[in-house]
Structure 1
Amino acid sequence: MKKQTRRPGHLRTAALLCALAALCAPARGSAQTPQTFWIDGYELRVSLHPVRAGFVLGEPVTLSLDVENRSDTDLELLLSGERGPGRADDFEVTVTGPDGRVLPRPSPEEGGAEVSYDNSYVSAARDGYMMSDGSMHFIVTLSNWAKVEGPGQYTVTYRRGVRAGPRARRYRIFPGTTRAAVEVSVQTTFEVVEGGPEALAQLIEQLGNQMLKCDRDSSVNAATRLAAMTDERVLKYVVGAVQSCKNPSVRYQALNALSNFKSDEAFEGLRLAAADADEDFRTVAANQLGGSKHPKALKLLFSMRRDPYYGVRLMVLQVLEGTDTAEARKLIWEMTQDEHPLVRDEALRFLQERATHPPQKEK
């Protein structure tokens, strides 16, 4: 009798659904024991952990770098950027795969990105407990640093230069005047389960339906995960959330995902957001239009220079300044007549500052 070795299809499907159900849960991944670092005389505890217990292959992997201030002084921290002018490369994220080999870093065309300096404030620990803002959480997206192409357990080492100083009303620590005092190095692991189009499609569907419930907890977690994906199958859910959700934590997460795509479906979501009744939501929509690759995005954005809310007009002005073409300068000149002094003065300042420089060529 011939021996049967193929696993029954319904059992395989059931196992896959169980795995996806576990991965849809919002539980965060386990963190390594926090390490203590003394930076410029101040005690900090630093740890690294995956934001979830596991990831489906094809889903972006994100980690959280947690920093706690254990001193009695409110601090300003400067976390180094990568390959800043005239300084060593003291910022690196290394990922080791299940086979023990270091994963290659993506090229800029594949999504490998330069990372800027971060200035942040962190309050002191007082009376033996942490204040609500006595810690910071920096999100690390591994797609900028490594190509995760198979299931298994991965190890991440995060290395970054840090400086610290007393908190003031304005930032006092700048890359051009200081060098990293201490190099923080922390490590963690994360799990990736077998994915592929079928598993990822089911995950997107589950998260999308969860997000569109528009509740306070599970929908926000689902929106965060979907917003990190670059798979166009998320679009019908994020556009739906922009259109119908009242929970701002869900709506803003969905809106922030739209500029990652240049399709007409994504642009329709941005168009809806640009016409929203909420002025703050329209302001963020203007910012997202400035980063969109859709061919009609800038035209829509520049039409918002007449928006009734000055914050939206300021956002449009900032994008025009970044473009700085001859056509952009004409529009900026119009905005020197804006009714709000912040918009009017900024437009005038820019034109005066750039008066001796020719405009950029149209791309």
Structure 2
Amino acid sequence: MKITRIDKSRIDQADLENPVFGTQFSDHMLVCKYKNGKWEEPEIKPYGPMSFTPALHTLHYGQALFEGQKAYYMSDGTIGIFRPEMNAKRLNHSAKRMFMPEFPEDLFVDGLKQLVEIDRAWVPKKEGYSLYLRPFMFGSSEFVAARPSEEYIFCVVMSPVGPYYAGEVKVKVEETYTRSASGGVGSTKCAGNYGGAFFATDQARKEGYTQVIWTDHKNHELIEESGTMNVGFVIGDTFITPPLSDRILAGITRDSILTLLRDTDIVKNVEERPIKVEEVIAAAEAGTLKEVFGMGTAAVVSQISTIGFRGTDYKIETPKDGYAMKIKKALTAIRMGDADDKYNWMVRL
């Protein structure tokens, strides 16, 4: 792998104590080009602009996808990347569906390790903070014919971040707009999934909510995701989360939390099953809806304090020692190296 280091680090211009999510970037980036049917040698080089013409394929036809993951400053002073092999697999799942070339998984993980090692000073040491890693791929041919790109670029940039959501998280059940449909690209992290969600999210924010709860495209009866997060409900002594499908992103945080819940006594029962909006509302009205929280790389575990449905706001408890915080504490302990990593989730540098 070719490595070209920056002449002088920009870290003295960075705010690692209070970073605004995704707005400042580390000194280096990884770039790899796909041409003539194969990936070329990756290169780590100084972070900076790329040059393209207005005919850039992805601007016209949307062949673009990305991943989100984090590197942590661990208690013993080492740096750990959380489950990078899972992000490599999910990126290739997205690539298949978007008719883009798969990126070698070993190269993905090795490239991340080398890039994070070079910019390790950018990993915040403050509790609850991390270095956000953004691998992405896009069609880089320059033509405006409606066919797949012939060339692609895989790139990784990194950004020091703090908590994604600050304060109360209030969500509104969305019954007009749809995030994804069966047979579509809902299970991928293609760029269009997120661009297509902005309007409905903005409408909800104008009503005082933080995010939306997406429902199924057919009847808007089944709960699917909450904004950019998978979502879970504690009803009685049971944790319930919607099952994966081609409409729902296979969250790595979601998978990790399900593993922890099934391996501990935090909750009595764990269920992956369809859950209707009416079931959640009935539980809220009956007082059996104990907690609701989102699960995701950026959000980690975010307690939801309010669900808005057809003009009524249902308040939900957000205890500091409840289910969500116990789950977050258990996950954080592994990421920080304060608990036994029996699942081998942390790739240490």
The verdict on a shared fold, with TM-score over 0.5 as the criterion, is no
TM category (shorter chain) comes to under 0.3
- Give TM-score scaled by structure 2 length: 0.27
- Give TM-score scaled by structure 1 length: 0.27
Greater fraction of residues in helix: 1
Highest RCO, 1 vs 2 (Cα 8 Å, sep ≥ 6) = 2
Greater fraction of residues in strand: 2
- Pair member with larger Rg: 1
